Amino acid sequence: MIQSMFQLLDEQHSEIVEIRRDLHMHPELSHQEQRTPELIAEYLEGLGLEVKRGVGGNGVVGYLHGNHPGKTIALRADFDALPMKDEKDVAYKSKVDGVSHACGHDVHTAALLGVAKVLSGLKDKLAGTVVFIHQFAEEVSPGGAEAMIADGCLEEVDAIYGAHVWSDNHTGEILFNEGFTMAAADTFEIDIQGKGGHGALPHLTIDPVVAASQLVMSLQQIASRNVDPLKAAVITVGSFHSGEALNVIPDSASVKGTVRTYDEKVRKMIKDKIQKTAEALEVQTGADISVDYHFGHASLYNHPAETASLRVLAEENLPGFDVKQMPPFMGAEDFAYYLKEVPGTFFFVGGKNEKINAIYPHHHPKFDVDESSMATIGKVFMLALMNHGVITEKEQKIVEV
C-alpha cells in the first residue's frame, strides 16, 4: 500500500509546486505570519480535516482521524521567512521587499500539505490519528515550538517527525542521525564601561578596548580548558565595537557572540564561566562589566529507536534514493522542544541541483532548491506513519466497540 501512496503523492506534485511557489512569492516574517497560516488552515479544512487556528500564536494544527484505532503521530513543518532580499531570477521570486524564503520553510509546508491531501482520501486505510503541526516563527528565539506545545499541540501524541530540506546535499539524498544532531544556540552581550581620555595619556583612563580584548581571549579558554574534549562546545565572538577616533580611548566597548553546545551541563557551565570571567576582569581592569546571557533553542536529540527504524524503512522502500548518515553539526532548530516531550526524529532531505542553479547555502539571497525534494519529504513522512502502524501494508479490519 505504501507504494501506491507514493504514486498518489507523485501524481499531485504539480499542485504542491504551485502551493510552494505561492508561499515563496508571499513570505512573512516570524511572529508576523497572517496570510500563510490562513492559507494552510483553509487548505486543510478543504480536505475535511479538523483544524485549530491560532495555536500558540500563529500556529495551525490539523487532525486526520483514521477509520481504525491506532497511535497518534505528529508531523511538523515550519512556515516563517527571513528578513533578507530575494535575488534569484525566477518567476516565483519574492514579492515582499526585504523578505524571502531563504531557508526552505515554504518547501516544508507544501510537502506536508501534500501528505495531508493524499491521506485525507485514504482514511479507511489509516489506523490512528495524524496530527499536522504547521509552526510559525522557527527562525527566532523564542520561536513558535514552545508556544504551540504549551497550547496543547502534542496532547495525546505518541511520536513526532520533522524534516528539513538541505542545500549541502543533492536531491535523492536522505540523511539521518541518531542522538544529538543540532546544538543549543545561546547568545551573550557584554558591555564594558571604562573611562575615556586622550590616546597619549592612557594612565588617566580605564581602557575598555584593552579590557574587551582580554575578555575575548579569555572566552576562548573556557571551551578549550573547561569542556571535555569529547563534548562539543563553541564560543564565538561575532561583534566587537568600541570608539571611532584613532587617538581617543573611548568610554565603553561591547562584545557580542554565540555559544553552541549539546550537553545541558556544559551549556550551564559555560554561562557561569562567562559571568565569572567578566567579574574577574572587573577586578583586574577597574572597568564595570555587565553580562546579558540569553538561552536560545535547546539542543536537538533524535531518539535512537525511532531514527534507526525510520532509516531502515527508507532503505527498504525508497530503493532509488541515497539514504545515509548525517554527522551532527552546530546549527540550531526549535524542533528540539518537541523531541523533549515525545520521541521521534528530525531528518534531512537533499535539495541541491546544479542544473537549475540550486547551489546556494541556506540564508543566502539566491537560495533555492530542487522542488522534487518535497515529494521526498512527503514519502519519508509517510514511512514515519508506517513506522508506527498508522499506515500498514496489511489490510485493516474495522473493530467493533
User: Phi and psi (nearest 5°) for 13?
Assistant: -65, -40
> CA-CA distances (angstroms) from residue 98 to 21, 80, 95, 135, 306?
17, 14, 9, 22, 39
Q: Which stretches within 159-263 are classed as H helix?
A: 208-226
Q: Which of 78, 138, 207, 333 is catalytic?
A: 138
Asked if 305 and 158 count as a contact pair (C-beta separation under 8 A), the reply is: no
Distance CA 271, CA 295 (A): 9
Looking at 79-211, which runs of residues are DSSP E strands?
127-135, 159-170, 173-176, 179-182, 184-193, 197-198
Instruction: Indicate the SS3 state at residue 153.
Output: coil
CA-closest candidate to residue 377, choices 20, 111, 56: 111
CA-closest candidate to residue 3, choices 106, 118, 102: 118
What DSSP character marks residue 345? Answer: E
CA angle 266, 272, 278 (to 5 degrees): 135
- Is residue 33 annotated as a catalytic residue, yes or no? no
Q: Which of 28, 80, 139, 333 is catalytic?
A: 80
Cell of 54: 491560532
Peptide bond before residue 142 is cis, with ω within 30 degrees of 0 = yes
- The residues, any chain, with a CB within 8 Å of residue 397's CB and separated by 6 or more, are 68
Considering only the C-alpha atoms of the chain, give the largest distance between any 2 of them, rounded to a whole number of Å. Answer: 91
Helix axes 13-25, 2-11, angle to 10 degrees: 50
What DSSP character marks residue 92? Answer: T
The one-letter amino acid at 61: V
Residue 76's H or E segment, with its range, is: strand 68-78
Instruction: Indicate the SS3 state at residue 224.
Output: helix
- How many CA atoms within 13 Å lie on the side-chain side of 54? 0
- Is residue 322 annotated as a catalytic residue, yes or no? no
- The residues, any chain, with a CB within 8 Å of residue 264's CB and separated by 6 or more, are 184, 299
Q: Which residues are catalytic?
A: 80, 138
